[in-house]
Amino acid sequence: MSEEIRVKAGEKEIVLDEKVLSVLQRYVKTDMTLEELAAELGLSSWEEAYEFIKNIPAWILWIQPTLWKTLRAQKSVKEEYVKPEKK
């Protein structure tokens, strides 16, 4: 994939991928605490996890990891194989 989406969490940046989205799905759909989220994502505290959640667009929290992977793959295929129109 040609372009990564990175989200700031305190001093760190986390790349959104299928693994991170799976963790976010568990956070949204269960009673996972911010401390547990921080541990899953390798963050140092619940404050960093809170900053991470605040910086993510809401629609990303609800997208399925498989759909994310498909959309990202389609985007990179489109970028690779569709030539820009000449004016």
Q: Which tens digit of pLDDT belongs to each residue from 48-85?
A: 999 999 999 888 888 888 888 888 878 765 555 555 55
- How confident is the model over 34-38, as a mean pLDDT? 96
Considering the chain, what percentage of its residues have pLDDT values greater than 90? Answer: 45
Encode burial over 35-57: b for 16+ CB neighbours within 10 A, e otherwise. Answer: ebbbebbebeeeebbbbbbeebe
Amino acid (one-letter) located at 61: L
Q: What is the pTM of this model?
A: 0.74
- How confident is the model over 34-53, as a mean pLDDT? 95
